[in-house]
Structure formats: C-alpha cells, structure tokens
Amino acid sequence: MTVGTYSNLMAQVEKLRRHAKQGSVQTRYRYMHAVDRFCRFVAEEYKLQKLANVKEKHIVAYAKRLQETGKSAGYVKTELSGIRYFCHELGVEVVTNEEIGALLGKKLERRRFGEVPRAWSDSEVENALKWARLEGKEDLVLIIKLARVLGLRIHETIRLRQGQVQQALAEGYLTIKGKGGLVREVPLTGKARTALKAALGWAQQERLFVRSNEKAHQVQKRVENWIYNRRSEFTEGETKLTYHGLRHTYAQERYAYHLRRLDGNEKWARLAVAEELGHGRDAVTRIYLAGYKAKVVDGGTGRRVHLKREREESDDERRE
C-alpha cells in the first residue's frame, strides 16, 4: 500500500470528522473505521489522492472486494454507509446500493441471520495471545482476554476504569453502559475474575488501556489494526477474524451454559445471552450462534440473569 497516499486521505477524513455532528458518537466511530478501510483500498488500488475525487468505480470495486472476501451483507452495507457519510460531508454524491447492485450484475445481499460463523476457536485465541506476547503488547493480551471472557464491544473494553473493575470484583458482575446508552450487568465467571484482576494489576492509570496522551478511538484503531495485520498468523479456517468475533465466542459459550441451566430450553437460553450481550433481541443472538458447537464451559457466575418471560415469543417468531 502507498503509505503516503493513504495518510493523505486519512488527514482529509480526520478534518471532516472534527466537524461532523450527525449521528451518535458510536455511529461516527464506526463510520470512521469504514472509511479508513476504504481509504486503504483506494490508496493501494487507485493511488487516489483526494477523497473529493471518489467516483462510482471506486465504490463499486470496493463493494465487490468485500463480497469476494466473504463479508456479510450487513457489514457491506454498513461500510458503504460510512463512506457515504463522509462523502456527504464533502458534498460528493455516492451511488446507491441499488445502483451498485445493478453495476455488479446482482443485488447486494440482504442480511442473513445466523448463517456466517464469526467466532474464534480457543486455539485461535491462544495463538493470537502468543503473538501479542512475542511483540511485548501486554495491553493487547489483556484486551483480547477480556473480550473473550466478558463479551464486551471493543469500545466497552477500552474504556474500562479501575473503579469500575474494583466494583465488579466486589459485586460479582460488571456494570456496562453500552450501545444506545443501555446499561447491563455482565456476570463474572472464574475466568472473567482472573482477567479483570490481571488488567487491574497491570494498569497504571484510571482508564485501564487509555493513556493520558491518548484518545479511546486511537487505542481502538490500534487494536483493530493489529488483528487485521496479524490474523493470517493465527487464523485456522476461512473466517476473517475480527475483534467482534471474540464477542461471538463469548456468546456461544454462555449459550451452552444457559442451555444446561435452563434444562435445554433454547429460547430462554438465547434470551439470557441477549441480556448479557446488551441488545435483548433473540434474532440478533441467533447471528452470534452461527456455527455453534456444544462444549463444556466455565459456568460459574456471580449473579443470575433475570429473564423476562413475557418476551418468550420474539417479534421475528410472531411474523413466522
């Protein structure tokens, strides 16, 4: 990749980001990462110098690349939304999904629920940890471990504070303010307690992973870039491993635990996982369970998940 060209494009994006106000903070961060990946692509493939010069061919080629590498329909559409967001800030018109589909000779796929496995295997996690240790990245080791045993979104992990962790160890569950301001309580398994204690012992500042001269989104980008650049070293199958895939691994392990606890009731087990993940939707939990295989897991928790029985029948099932 032409580093200078990419850096120049991202300098333009950063200038736009500072003035962008539409959407939530988390949406803007997600779109920032989307346009970052797009800039890498056009810098390498087209040597594009100015974001204002983005054309139809660039967008279509990127959408084609995403589909060829097995990205999910939801991922592709969110990436395109991120590119449109920043192009709109520049006053640049970008082709619609329908137009892209026509140019590719087929419609962009609809979201497919629960069909694409994203979870990391235990050996993939261990090999990633080995690589991080070899490179002396102890913060990355701790971040990966916490994602694996708590199922936190990347920004939730990075923004953990010492006081928050100390309270969790005392109470038996970690209180998280997640996406959309939704507050949830994540029960602590034995492994989660161990990981939190290790992170607490390592941290040298109130925010565990964000130093005084850094911003949370900079740390997040560093973690995502490391996984992107190193994953070929520890990936065992064809799945393109991402940080979010660790959340899938957590969801599947917790599903196995709740399935045993609830006498094999799959629906209630999925709802229990949904509450721990912080979205509360059965249909979304099904996505996390793609490729699920039953296994023995660490089921110890410090707090029971309170199920709302009235939600036994989800909106999706009613439509069916």
pLDDT in tens, 152-208: 999 999 999 999 999 999 999 999 988 777 899 999 999 999 999 999 999 989 999
Buried b (16+ CB within 10 A) or exposed e, 139-169: bbbbbbbbbbbbbbbbbbbbbbeeebbeebb
Q: What percent of the chain has pLDDT over 70?
A: 87
Tell me the C-alpha distance between 94 and 103, whole Å.
14
Highest mean pLDDT among 66-80, 199-213, 285-299: 199-213
- Report the CATH number of the 122-311 domain: 1.10.443.10
Please give the pLDDT value at position 302: 37
Return the CATH class of domain 3-104: mainly alpha
Tell me the C-alpha distance between 152 and 113, whole Å.
21
Q: Where in the chain is the domain with CATH 1.10.150?
A: 3-104
Say if residue 320's pLDDT is above 70: no
Residue at 10: amino acid letter: M
Say if residue 96's pLDDT is above 90: no
Buried b (16+ CB within 10 A) or exposed e, 210-243: beeeeeebebbbbbbebbeebbeebbeeebbbbb
Tell me the C-alpha distance between 197 and 14, whole Å.
36
Please give the pLDDT value at position 110: 54
Please give the pLDDT value at position 98: 78
Say if residue 304's pLDDT is above 50: no
Find all residues with CB under 8 Å of 36, minimum gap 6, and list them.
10, 13, 221
Confidence of residue 217 (pLDDT cuts 50, 70, 90): confident
Say if residue 315's pLDDT is above 70: no
Please give the pLDDT value at position 300: 47
Q: Where in the chain is the domain with CATH 1.10.443.10?
A: 122-311
Alpha carbon 117 to chain centroid, angstroms? 14
DSSP 24: -
Residue 171 and residue 301 in contact, taking contact as beta carbons nearer than 8 Å: no
Please give the pLDDT value at position 178: 82
Find all residues with CB under 8 Å of 239, minimum gap 6, and list them.
117, 118, 245
DSSP 241: -
Flag the least confident range among 10-24, 92-106, 212-226, 255-269.
92-106
Please give the pLDDT value at position 109: 56
Say if residue 135's pLDDT is above 60: yes
Say if residue 282's pLDDT is above 90: no
Please give the pLDDT value at position 309: 32
Say if residue 318's pLDDT is above 60: no
Mean per-residue pLDDT of the chain:
84
Buried b (16+ CB within 10 A) or exposed e, 10-23: bebbeebbeebeee
pLDDT in tens, 74-84: 788 889 999 99
Q: What percent of the chain has pLDDT over 90?
A: 48
pLDDT in tens, 23-44: 777 788 888 989 999 999 999 9
Say if residue 1's pLDDT is above 60: no
DSSP 207: B
pLDDT in tens, 52-63: 999 989 999 998
Please give the pLDDT value at position 36: 92
